[in-house]
């Protein structure tokens, strides 16, 4: 009995790893067969951001509507390190990641709020960070609303490779959360924090770890974004679009799974790139309608069509 369980457990881990490996391999070789590298970067970016959001929303139930705050903190941390410290890009990415982590630590008191208020307060926090970074009074430090130019470190191939590595690390983290005891304890916290505490789970600690991991991922992606495009404005790096897309892709595919957010990105971001760029309103209309329909008819996303029938999806 016990052996059968661990064999099926191993099979599950293997299935998850296989899916993660295929996605990483495809994105890694894609630039050699498809020339629009910026578009590929955007795919990698949203694949990673959606999984990063999945870490906190899927496994703890807290929806960070202001997820872009960490992304922007990462992008500006990178930019400030390059501009003021003349840091090499990888060191600058570490600074960006640290900035996102600091912001996450500052925001941990938000977990005292229940879900809906957490979401709104997090949105307000991301906007507050944007208002600070873009403020003309801080032009000497952040260049205020006028944006930053980092052309000295522009290296699209390298930054693309780094972003694929971040994606790989993020997918591994999600695989681990799905198959480890720690991930199980997070799901217990999500279901009921009081019962979880009485089962001996350190609720605050578990949530905080998931939160910091999620913020770290967004910060790293933000740094890679800054490195990849090298010229940007605060309203680019803090665009609500990043949060919205990450939320929509994750919800559409199905949170707390590995497949769900991946599916969401490949399908919806694929549609966006087909029809959305010239007339973004039509894409907005589509995903807005999808969200309403999902909440009403399929609250656990596309993958729940299979999981409801007892089929395990990676």
Partner 1 sequence: MLIGAIISGLMFGLYFTLVGLGLNLVFGVMRIVNLAHGDFLMLGSFAAYWLFTLFGLHPLLAAVAVLVVFVAVGLPIYYGVVPRLLVARDSEMLSIILFFGLSQVIEALAAIAFGTSERSIPGRVLGSGPVSFLGQRLPSAWVFGAAVSAVAVACVYLYLYRTRLGTLTRAVMVSREEALATGIDVHRVSAIAFGIGIALAGIAGVFAPFMLGSVTPAMGADINVAAFAVIVVGTLGNPLGTVIGGIVYGIGLMLMQTYLSSWANLLPNLLLIAVLLFRPEGLFGRAVRRA
Partner 2 sequence: MSPDVMPLLKVEQLEKRFGGFRALDGVSFHLAPGEVLGLVGPNGSGKTTCINVISGLYAGDGGQVVFEGQRIDGAKMHKLARRGINRTFQSPKPFLSLTVRENVQIAARYGHAGGAPVDLDALLASLELDRHADRPAEDLNSAQQKTLDLARALATSPRLLLIDELAAGLNPAELHRMADRLRVLADGGMAMLVVEHLMGFIDRVTDRVIVLNAGREIFEGTLAAATRDPDVIRVFLGGAAHA
**Contact between 132 and partner 1 (CB under 8 A)?**
yes
- Which of partner 2, partner 1, none lies near 135, with the C-beta cut-off 5 to 8 A by kind? partner 1
Nearer to partner 1, 149 or 284 (CB): 284
Contact 216, 100 (CB under 8 A): yes
Q: Which of 128, 161, 202, 277 binds partner 1 (CB under 8 A)?
A: 128
- Which of partner 1, partner 2, none lies near 200, with the C-beta cut-off 5 to 8 A by kind? partner 2
- Which of partner 1, partner 2, none lies near 1, with the C-beta cut-off 5 to 8 A by kind? partner 2
Q: What is the DSSP string of 262-304?
A: HHHIIIIIHHIIIIITT-HHHHHHHHHHHHHHHHHH-TT-TTH
Nearer to partner 2, 152 or 299 (CB): 299
Which of these segments, 11-19, 133-141, 151-159, 162-170, binds partner 1 (CB under 8 A)?
Answer: 133-141
Q: Which of 23, 82, 95, 110 binds partner 1 (CB under 8 A)?
A: 110
| Number of alpha carbons in the 13 Å side-chain half-sphere of residue 64 | 36
Q: What is the DSSP string of 88-111?
A: -HHHHHHHHHHHHHHHHHHHGGGG
Residues near partner 2 (CB under 8 A): 1, 181, 184-185, 187-188, 191-192, 194-203
Residue 149's DSSP bridge partners are: 231
Q: Which of 112, 205, 308, 312 binds partner 1 (CB under 8 A)?
A: 112
Q: Give the span between the Cα atoms of 119 and 69, in whole angstroms.
A: 13
- Which of partner 1, partner 2, none lies near 29, with the C-beta cut-off 5 to 8 A by kind? none
Contact 48, 196 (CB under 8 A): no
Q: Give the span between the Cα atoms of 268 and 288, in whole angstroms.
A: 12
Residue 232's DSSP bridge partners are: 148
Q: Give the span between the Cα atoms of 170 and 167, in whole angstroms.
A: 5
| x/- track of binding to partner 1 for residues 184-203 (CB under 8 A) | ---------xx---------
H or E segment at 261?
helix 259-264
Could you tell me which of 242, 250, 182, 181 has the C-alpha nearest to residue 210? 182
Q: Which residues bind to partner 1, rule: CB under 8 A?
A: 61, 63, 65, 109-110, 112-117, 119-121, 123-125, 127-128, 131-132, 135-137, 193-194, 240, 244, 247, 251, 281-282, 284-285, 287-292, 294-296, 299
């Amino acid at each position: 009995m016990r052996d059968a369980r661990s064999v099926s457990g191993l099979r599950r881990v293997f299935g998850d790893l296989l899916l993660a490996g295929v996605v990483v391999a495809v994105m890694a070789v894609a630039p050699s067969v498809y020339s629009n590298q910026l578009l590929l970067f955007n795919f990698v970016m949203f694949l990673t951001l959606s999984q990063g959001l999945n870490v906190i929303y899927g496994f703890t139930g807290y929806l960070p509507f202001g997820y872009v705050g960490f992304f922007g903190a990462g992008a500006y941390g990178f930019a400030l390190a390059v501009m003021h410290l003349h840091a090499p890009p990888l060191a600058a990415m570490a600074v960006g990641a640290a900035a996102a982590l600091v912001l996450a630590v500052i925001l941990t008191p938000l977990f005292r709020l229940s879900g809906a208020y957490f979401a709104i307060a997090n949105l307000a926090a991301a906007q507050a960070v944007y208002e600070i970074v873009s403020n003309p009074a801080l032009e000497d430090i952040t260049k205020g609303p006028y944006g930053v130019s980092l052309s000295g470190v522009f290296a699209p191939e390298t930054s693309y490779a780094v972003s694929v590595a971040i994606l790989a690390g993020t997918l591994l983290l999600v695989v681990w959360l799905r198959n480890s005891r720690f991930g199980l304890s997070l799901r217990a916290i999500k279901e009921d924090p009081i019962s979880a505490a009485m089962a001996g789970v350190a609720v605050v600690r578990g949530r905080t770890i998931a939160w910091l991991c999620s913020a770290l991922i967004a910060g790293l992606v933000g740094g890679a974004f800054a490195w990849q495009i090298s010229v940007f404005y605060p309203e680019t790096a803090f665009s609500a679009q990043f949060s919205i897309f990450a939320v929509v892709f994750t919800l559409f595919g199905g949170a707390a799974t590995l497949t769900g957010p991946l599916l969401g990105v490949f399908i919806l971001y694929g549609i966006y790139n087909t029809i959305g760029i010239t007339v973004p309103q039509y894409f907005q209309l589509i995903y807005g309608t999808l969200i309403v329909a999902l909440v009403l008819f399929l609250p656990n996303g596309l993958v729940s069509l299979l999981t409801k029938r007892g089929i395990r999806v990676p």
